Copies of this chain bind each other. A is one copy, B any other.
């Protein structure tokens, strides 16, 4: 465990540690034991068919050697697995494998695996322990904060819970096989955490974009550590999203609308919110923030290889309509997370739809 980084998500009695480092999968047995995962009750690893081939046998073997009783369940890769059907199937496997109230569910994978496995853990026997082993950069975001959920045919993430893990174990080696496009998309949320909270970290991302894209272990470890730290700081202050936690949605109002209108294949989540963050920066400048907010936001996102221009063929009316349905709009008021400087945002509850429409049009003309 030399050279690994560690931080704590402070949530009172639900506080938990995040370990980040190269080769941490090898330490899973020791770390699980340290954080109270029972060896008497079987645990269940949930992963997807892609990750299973790369890392499942390794994790199973490490845990079995350490004396844990391990069951595994594999889900189809992709968002469609976040369904009640899959929840029922996994619950059946848990029952057949004898999981009891002292058992734990381990999520080995990206955001889809974490969201689904987390809701299995939240609901099985009204809640058992949960461990996150993220294998994507993007999952640094979902592994902090305890939001777990499945989708309903009519809406994403609508059936879920707040369920905090016992620990998060981030092995940087599992990131080495990520496709380049996913690396870039994952860095989008990393940069977002800088933009909402930490100007110094934005500068660091600007200067170290090349190392991040090259998956340099030390740079990546630091970036994930900082990203998790910002999210942890926000979540600690507002676990159940009453107010402050909304700032984590920087770029997401436009981003979600783009995902919905483009279809979920054309734009990855990280790409859509990159465009959304450029939009928020433009909005910020229009509402009085210094010009620099726009220039720096755009430069950093470009450097980590993210798109900054909104695809022209997407219809502005449709984008506006999709935004009106976004759950961030409460009681008819249009709410936006707006930067006031690099590293600082505010929750603006009275942004005019006309202004947002102008910004969307401008984003289609954005120089790349």
B162 and A88: CB pair below 8 A?
A: no
Q: List which A154-191 residues lie within 8 A (CB) of chain B.
A: 154-155, 158-162
Does residue A203 face the partner (Cβ distance < 8 Å to B)? no
A123 and B88: CB pair below 8 A?
A: no
A84 to B83 alpha-carbon distance, docked (Å): 10
- Which B residues lie within 8 Å of A55 (CB)? none
A154 to B97 alpha-carbon distance, docked (Å): 12
Does residue A238 face the partner (Cβ distance < 8 Å to B)? no
Contact flag A158-B100 (CB < 8 Å), given A88-B152, A149-B126, A331-B40: no
Does residue A95 face the partner (Cβ distance < 8 Å to B)? yes
Closest B residue by C-beta to A155: B95
Closest B residue by C-beta to A88: B84
A95 and B158: CB pair below 8 A?
A: yes
Contact flag A161-B161 (CB < 8 Å), given A40-B331, A152-B95: yes
A contact patch SS: mixed
Does residue A32 face the partner (Cβ distance < 8 Å to B)? no
- Which B residues lie within 8 Å of A240 (CB)? 127
Does residue A147 face the partner (Cβ distance < 8 Å to B)? yes
Does residue A87 face the partner (Cβ distance < 8 Å to B)? yes
Candidates B40, B125, B153, B160; contact of A158 at CB < 8 Å: B125
Closest B residue by C-beta to A40: B331
Does residue A34 face the partner (Cβ distance < 8 Å to B)? no
- A130 to nearest B CB, angstroms? 14
Does residue A124 face the partner (Cβ distance < 8 Å to B)? yes
Does residue A36 face the partner (Cβ distance < 8 Å to B)? no
We find that the number of chain A residues with CB closer than 8 angstroms to chain B is 34
A91 and B152: CB pair below 8 A?
A: yes
- Which B residues lie within 8 Å of A61 (CB)? none
Q: List which A61-100 residues lie within 8 A (CB) of chain B.
A: 84-85, 87-88, 91-92, 95-96, 100
- Which B residues lie within 8 Å of A101 (CB)? 327, 330
Q: List which A259-289 residues lie within 8 A (CB) of chain B.
A: none
A101 to B329 alpha-carbon distance, docked (Å): 11
Does residue A122 face the partner (Cβ distance < 8 Å to B)? yes
Given A124-B159, A126-B149, A126-B162: 13 more A-B contacts, CB < 8 Å: A40-B331, A84-B85, A84-B88, A91-B152, A92-B152, A92-B154, A95-B155, A96-B154, A100-B330, A101-B330, A123-B159, A125-B160, A126-B147
A-B contact pairs, 22 of them (CB 8 A): A40-B331, A41-B331, A84-B88, A88-B152, A88-B153, A91-B159, A92-B154, A95-B152, A95-B154, A95-B155, A96-B154, A102-B330, A122-B161, A123-B123, A123-B159, A125-B158, A125-B160, A125-B327, A126-B162, A127-B161, A127-B240, A161-B161
Q: Which 6 A-B pairs have the closest CB atoms?
A: A126-B160, A84-B84, A123-B159, A95-B154, A91-B152, A84-B88
